[in-house]
Amino acid sequence: MAGSSQYTAVLDANTLYPAPLRDLLLSLAVDSLYHARWTARIHEEWVRNLARNRPELEVQLGALVELMNRSVPDCLVENYEGLIAGLVLPDPDDRHVLAAAIAGHADAIVTFNLKDFPADALDAHQIEAIHPDDFVLNQLELRPYEALAAVKKMRARLNRPPQTAAELIATLERSGLPASATHLRQAQALI
């Protein structure tokens, strides 16, 4: 793959673990606001952690992974493993994420663990690490109509239980998106 003409982001496992954030990031990707990418190893990490903390969900997680992979074209980065050994990060266990971003021609790594992806390690690869709140806010500001439409469609899919716009915004805020939640409150009538 030569890369995507869209802004491309590798989603770290910690952004896929919380269901509301995962749903929002995927909703934005499905509506072509950016190109989302991940690896089988990233899937394994968030699935393992979620299954450990919520064992009642374990049976459903395989189907969820398959659905995610089908929902976003060209989402799986492969053949990145050879890059891992040559990378240096504060936490060596995160090198696979940077390797995936390099091999996947990503512009960014979306992660809560910014300290694990310092700019001096990423700059040579022209990749930035970005907090999910900043990433979502960027989508809301860069393409407001499309982003709000994606959020509205996401809310319409929620049926166990259904959520009002205010409830969804509060859920996203609790999921680590305070700035995005503040922005969404200003457009609450549109979602």
Say if residue 103 is in the same domain as residue 184: no
Parent domain of 160: 136-190
Percentage of residues in the chain with pLDDT exceeding 70? 97
pLDDT tens column, 111-133: 999 999 999 999 999 999 999 99
Say if residue 38 is in the same domain as residue 65: yes
Say if residue 111 is in the same domain as residue 160: no
pLDDT confidence of residue 3: 52
pLDDT confidence of residue 94: 97
pLDDT tens column, 53-76: 787 777 788 888 898 999 999 999
The phi, psi pair for 175, rounded to 5°, reads -85, 5
Say if residue 119 is in the same domain as residue 145: no
Q: Which long-range contacts (CB under 8 A, 24 or more apart) does 95-99 make?
A: 96/39, 96/41, 96/42, 97/10, 97/12, 97/13, 97/42, 98/122, 98/125, 98/127
Confidence of residue 4 (pLDDT cuts 50, 70, 90): low
Q: Is the pLDDT of residue 1 over 50?
A: no
Domain assignment present for residue 3? The answer is no
> Amino acid letter at 23?
D
Q: What is the value of pTM for the model shown?
A: 0.92
Residue 101: both structure tokens together: 């971003």
- Sign of the CA dihedral with 125 first, then 129, 130, and 135 last: positive
Domain assignment present for residue 176? The answer is yes
Say if residue 64 is in the same domain as residue 101: yes
End-to-end CA distance of the chain: 35
Q: Is the pLDDT of residue 45 over 60?
A: yes
Please spell the DSSP secondary structure of 165-176, one letter per residue.
HHHHHHHHHHTT
pLDDT confidence of residue 55: 78
Structurally, the chain folds into a number of domains equal to 2
pLDDT tens column, 123-182: 999 999 999 999 999 999 999 999 999 999 999 999 888 999 999 999 999 999 999 999
Report whether 156 contacts 164 (CB < 8 A): no
Residue 95: Cβ within 10 Å count = 19
pLDDT confidence of residue 60: 83
Residue 44: Cβ within 10 Å count = 12
Length of the chain measured in residues: 191
| Rounded Cα–Cα distance for residues 76 and 68 (Å) | 10
- Give me the mean pLDDT over the 67-93 stretch: 95
> Amino acid letter at 89?
L
Report whether 110 contacts 125 (CB < 8 A): no
Domain end among 115, 132, 149 = 132
Confidence of residue 2 (pLDDT cuts 50, 70, 90): very low
Say if residue 94 is in the same domain as residue 54: yes
Q: Is the pLDDT of residue 97 over 50?
A: yes
